[in-house]
Amino acid sequence: MLEDGRPFGRAMHPAPRVIAVIPARGGSKGLPGKNLAEVGGVPLVTRAVRAASAARFIDAVLVSTDDDGIAGAARAAGAGVVRRPDDLSGDTATSESALLHALHSVAAHTGVRPEVLVFVQATSPFIDHAALDRAVERVLDGEQDVVFSAVASHVFLWAETPEGAAGVNHEASARPRRQDREPEYAETGAFYVMRADGFVQAGHRFFGRVGMAQVHPDHAIEIDDAADLARAALLAPSIDGAAVRDGDPRHPVIDVDALVTDFDGVHTDDTAWVDTLGRESVRVSRSDGAGVARLRAAGLPVLILSREADPVVARRAEKLGVECLHGVQEKGEALADWASSRGIRLDRIAYVGNDRNDLPALELVGWPVAVRDAVPDVLAAARHVLDRTGGHGAVREIADLIVTSRELAARRAEHREPATAR
């Protein structure tokens, strides 16, 4: 059933009209832990949640799972969680059974069955939210009862027979040119949009009037094994980079005038080495240092705000060339004073934290941000949860998001200027 007290992801509608369900079991024979495998540093289930959440016609996003790790990743990404019973969690369990269970859970929670069900597969890492939105709109408008993602293909298919190889979709004696052949379409498995009542009555995902949503070939990859995962990893920098540059809502536009971070658990992995004289040392990331350098080059103030009084905090801030307030007991008050003294509005600040002592600061700023391994209270308070953990590139990730947001805003402003003003 739906976890008590948990939201459905985005702002919860009392009776959501369109709901996305992402079935994600913990077990996988082909690729163990598949749904938490990372592509571009982001777990597959997180990618699926972000794509569904970015679609404007989808009112709520749920992950159906039997696994605590997947449930945690789903909640961190902003989805609700449906706990799948044991009899629907084995290798023989169908996706349809998980979808039906989720629909019944939503109906029990809201008293109403959604009008449209969107089945999203976590094993498709590059789902285009715009293509998903168009598919949902077609079902909402009554154009089709089912719309599924597909990719055009001109491949000549062959089958093994007792007599040898035989053409499946062509005559072996005729080899028409690509431009002379009508395309066929391969089901990608990324998403299926369907009328909920029709799905319940039919018991399967193809019924009534069925249509296809054509997607880009790069978005059609589906991960079943380690080789697929490796191919997706090679594609991720290009696809994800283009999405960030284009202002894709899956990659938040963090438009701020300053960055403030905790130290332990953000710049570090929250551990320390202690020698025989009681002196502490910590591990930091050079990648984080490069991220801070990008912010400084862009002219953004950076402050490290820490409760820790150890001089290692000040030494690291000095190395990075940023301001530091350490040994601070009341982070909210210290942050407000710092912002006031520099004339920076609190709603124009991003704060990155990981533990409960960061909550007063997170509550003040416009962009409260959590590292991925933050405590549950901080994850719940965050407007955005980073893909990276503390000490492992989290500061670089937030820095890149901020700088990219500023560059995107500058390009948009330039395009809005009349030609005579250039």
Q: Among 181-190, 232-241, 321-330, 333-342, which stretch is predicted with the lowest mean pLDDT?
A: 232-241
Q: Please check whether residue 167 lies inside any domain of the structure.
A: no
pLDDT at 11 > cutoff 90: no
Q: Are residues 238 and 265 in the same domain?
A: no
User: Which SS3 state, helix, strand or coil, does residue 174 take?
Assistant: coil
Task: Flag whether pLDDT at 40 surpasses 50.
Answer: yes
Q: Across residues 289-305, what is the average pLDDT?
A: 95
> Among the three residues 197, 213, 245, which one is the final residue of a domain in this structure?
245
pLDDT (average), residues 185-202: 95
pLDDT score for 7 = 44
Mean pLDDT throughout 198-215? 95
| 297 vs 178, higher pLDDT | 297
Do 71 and 207 sit in the same domain of this protein?
yes
Q: Is the pLDDT of residue 6 over 60?
A: no
**298 and 337 housed in the same domain:** yes
Q: Give the CATH number, domain containing residue 204.
A: 3.90.550.10
For range 294-313, the mean pLDDT: 92
Place of tokens 């597969």: 121
Average pLDDT over residues 44-50: 92
Confidence of residue 413 (pLDDT cuts 50, 70, 90): low
Give the count of domains, the chain: 2
- Pick from 21-35, 45-59, 211-225, 378-392: least confident: 21-35
Instruction: Render pLDDT for 143-160 as a digit per residue (tens, 0 to 9).
Output: 999 999 999 998 989 999
pLDDT at 408 over 80: no
**HEC profile for 96-114?**
HHHHHHHHHHHHHHHCCCC
| pLDDT of the residue at 227 | 93
Are 239 and 341 found together in one domain? no
Percent with pLDDT over 90 in the chain: 54
Are residue 229 and residue 287 in the same domain, yes or no? no
Q: Looking at residue 310, which CATH number applies to its domain?
A: 3.40.50.1000
**Is the separation of the CB atoms in 61 and 79 below 8 Å?**
yes
25 and 100 both lie in a single domain = yes
Confidence tier at 348 by pLDDT (50, 70, 90): very high
d(CA 262, CA 331): 9
Whether residue 123 lies inside any domain: the answer is: yes
Q: Is residue 354 predicted with pLDDT exceeding 70?
A: yes
Q: What pLDDT score was predicted for residue 9?
A: 45
Residue 56 pLDDT: 85
The answer to whether residue 420 sits within a structural domain is no
Rounded to an integer, the average pLDDT of 164-189 is 87
306 belongs to a structural domain:
yes
pLDDT at 57 over 80: yes
Partnered with residue 409 across adjacent β-strands are none
Whether residue 132 is contained in a domain is answered as yes
Average pLDDT along the chain: 86
In whole angstroms, what is the distance from residue 60 CA to residue 250 CA?
15
Q: Tell me if 55 is assigned to some domain.
A: yes
- The yes-or-no verdict on residue 420 having pLDDT over 90 is no
Provide the phi-psi class of 213: left if phi over 0, else alpha when psi is between -120 and 50, else beta.
Answer: beta
Average pLDDT over residues 251-259: 82
pLDDT at 138: 97
Strands 80-83 and 60-65: parallel
Asked if residue 187 is part of any domain, the answer here is yes
Residue 42 or 303, more confident: 303
Same-domain pairing of 270 and 233: no
Specify whether 138 is located in the same domain as 212. yes
Token pair for 71: 């449930």
The Cα angle at residue 249 between residues 101 and 232, in degrees rounded to 5:
75
* Ranges 41-55, 74-88, 136-150, 300-314, most confident: 136-150
> Are 75 and 217 contained in the same domain?
yes
Specify the DSSP class assigned to residue 179. Answer: G
> What domain range includes position 117?
18-151+182-245
| Domain assignment present for 63 | yes
Residue % of the chain over a pLDDT of 70: 89
pLDDT at 5: 41
- CA nearest neighbour of 124 among 81, 95, 84, 88: 95
- The H-or-E segment that residue 351 falls in is strand 349-353
Same domain for 338 and 305, yes or no, is yes
